[in-house]
Amino acid sequence: MANEDIEFDVIVIGAGINGAGIARDAAIRGLSVLLVDKGDIGGGTSSWSTRLIHGGLRYLEHGELALVRESLREREALLKVAPHLVRPLRLLLPVYKNARRGLWTIRAGMLAYDALSLNKSLPKHRMLSRAQTLREVPALEPEGLLGAAVYSDAQVEFAERLVLENVLSAVEHGATVTTYARVDKLMVKNQKVCGIEFTNDRGGETRFARGTIVINAAGPWVDRVLKSDSGNSPRLIGGTKGSHIVVGPFAGAADTAIYVEAETDGRPFFIIPWDNKYLIGTTDIRYEGDLDQVRIESDEIDYLLHETNRVMPSAKLTREQILFAYSGVRPLPFTTDADEQRITRRHFIRPHPKRDNLFSIVGGKLTTYRSLAEQAVDAVFMKLGKNSPECKTDRDLLPGAATPDFDAFDRDFKQRSTLSAATNDHLLRIYGTRAALIARVIHEDQSLAEVIDDETGAIAAEVLFVFKHEMAKTLSDCMFRRTMVGFNSTCGLNAVDAAAATAQKYLGWSDERVRCEIAEHQNEVLRFQAR
């Protein structure tokens, strides 16, 4: 918890990917940092994305070359600093007769993408004939198919963990982190922002923290944070809602991700292998509703099912096959432009003319969080009038990648482990080199090797570990944003009792707390229901 007597160099509001990245970079560069979130780390938009670390092929159409170049550079950096979380992904883009983008347009886009990807590690694109395309993905609708492009990007299966590892690294470098603490008000003196007033969700009392610079990285909630102040900020965010559905393997499902133009509105959408399931999305709809209650709507489900079944007719997906769904709001810059797709995906670090020492983050993708953070921390040093040490986040490994050779670590861990192959894979995918710390927990108490979820291979030791060492505060944090068991086919409902029993036995939870935590998890699962 923040000490009211301390004045932090920087207070960051919002522990999504951008706030976490800023906190980490600022702490590494020697600033004193307080990071505050009204919920859990990574519990906002950063959990509701398509989970791609991509150059943004689509942005080429809108002439955003600088954004594509930056994104491709960042993709490369993330593949190196977080190889356990960010992995190469092969995508196939089929082209149909009468589509808005023909074969030549796609080919030109691919050539430009490769040119901008120069000196990067992922393979260049290949164009496929119709026959080659159908050999690659036999279940594709053959009618009108002209061919396809195959190209590479990257995927962060568990974006939640990418956010968390940034926060863990920030803490390693001295940052203070407070979760479940809502910022209610910006403290202002002589037109200068000088701190925050926040309410601790659990204790309820109002607290204060003083900071020289405040960064509002509240994602789609940025304007809400500003509203608490009378500085008359213009509206900054004009969010659009995007929804995904998740299904199990289906007839004709491919190992390659499919990126296809929707028949209904020409929007590109994805069918992506994800966590042994398929992630299908997304939609793009203006959103003015309650940011804490964003849910998929019936017509979005129809759209995603229809488009998937159209491009892969053997899938015959129905609502009954949807395991769960999720929706989020993109924190895009506010504009009156009617076309959602044309809103820039670039980010902006906005100073406030009437409120000195305050910056608000507008936009910003998972892919470019690191460069956004670098720019934001540069701006902080400039404002503080201090020389900035060099930014090193493009090469400093994240905590779960702390080894010179991740593949060698992976092999060695599996060789030494007495756990099942499924559990080894799970631990390495989720925690990277930190899996060794979990192995140490088991070494001290073998009963913690007990599997709590057969589907993922997750074990009891993880529950203990994430509460003790990863700042989990609730069972839902543990399930959805630490162990990732919450994304199994039951949203973790099959494992929640076992996880709570572990917490009771090893962390001393009362019967009452166990009941409440299980009920809270069940309540959070409602958010994932495809209505």
Ligand X SMILES: Cc1cc2nc3c(=O)[nH]c(=O)nc-3n(C[C@H](O)[C@H](O)[C@H](O)COP(=O)(O)OP(=O)(O)OC[C@H]3O[C@@H](n4cnc5c(N)ncnc54)[C@H](O)[C@@H]3O)c2cc1C
Q: Provide the mask over 367-406, with x wherever binding to ligand X is found by CB under 6 A and - wherever it is not.
A: x---------------------------------------
162 binds ligand X, rule: CB under 6 A: no
By CB under 6 A, which span of 42-50, 121-129, 376-384, 473-481 interacts with ligand X?
42-50
Kindly state the DSSP code that residue 320 receives in the 8-state scheme.
G
* In the complex, minimum distance from the CB of residue 267 to ligand X, in angstroms, rounded to a whole number: 12
**List 183, 441, 449, 495, residue binding ligand X (CB under 6 A):** 183
* In the complex, minimum distance from the CB of residue 340 to ligand X, in angstroms, rounded to a whole number: 11
Amino acid at 355: R
Our CB check for ligand X shows the closer of 277 and 365 to be 365
Amino acid at 45: T
Q: Nearest-CB residue to ligand X?
A: 16
Which residues are paired to 269 by β-bridges?
260
Residues 241-260 that bind ligand X (CB under 6 A): 242
By CB under 6 A, which span of 96-104, 115-123, 361-369, 499-507 interacts with ligand X?
361-369
d(CA 167, CA 477): 14
238 binds ligand X, rule: CB under 6 A: no
Tokens representing residue 25 in the block: 């970079």
d(CA 51, CA 155): 6
Q: Residue 44 CA to chain centroid, in angstroms?
A: 9
**List 331, 400, 486, 492, residue binding ligand X (CB under 6 A):** 331
d(CA 466, CA 487): 16
Tokens representing residue 31 in the block: 């600033």
Angstrom distances, CA of residue 267 to CA of 70, 126, 363: 23, 23, 20
Our CB check for ligand X shows the closer of 91 and 449 to be 91
What is the C-alpha radius of gyration for the chain, rounded to an integer number of angstroms? 23
Our CB check for ligand X shows the closer of 212 and 367 to be 367
Residue 90: is it exposed, middle or buried by C-beta count within 10 angstroms (0-12/13-18/19+)?
middle
Exposure pattern of 142-160 as b/e (b: 16+ CB <10 Å)?
eeebbbbbbbbbbbbbbbb
49 binds ligand X, rule: CB under 6 A: yes
217 binds ligand X, rule: CB under 6 A: yes
Q: 3-class secondary structure for 361-429?
A: EECCCCCCHHHHHHHHHHHHHHHHCCCCCCCCCCCCCCHHHCCCCHHHHHHHHHHHCCCCHHHHHHHHH
- Pairing of the two strands 206-216 and 355-362: parallel
**List 75, 125, 182, 352, residue binding ligand X (CB under 6 A):** 182
55 binds ligand X, rule: CB under 6 A: no
Kindly state the DSSP code that residue 483 receives in the 8-state scheme.
S
**List 25, 27, 34, 50, residue binding ligand X (CB under 6 A):** 50
18 binds ligand X, rule: CB under 6 A: yes
51 binds ligand X, rule: CB under 6 A: yes
**List 8, 11, 12, 14, residue binding ligand X (CB under 6 A):** 14
**Shortest CA distance to 72 belongs to which of 423, 516, 295, 368?**
368
109 binds ligand X, rule: CB under 6 A: no
Tokens 């009963």 locate to 447
Q: Provide the mask over 272-301, with x wherever binding to ligand X is found by CB under 6 A and - wherever it is not.
A: ----------x-------------------
Contact 13, 38 (CB under 8 A): no
52 binds ligand X, rule: CB under 6 A: yes
Our CB check for ligand X shows the closer of 49 and 176 to be 49
Our CB check for ligand X shows the closer of 89 and 134 to be 89
Q: Where along the sequence are the contacts to ligand X (CB under 6 A)? A: 13-19, 36-39, 43-46, 48-52, 54, 182-183, 217-221, 225, 242, 282, 328-331, 361, 364-367
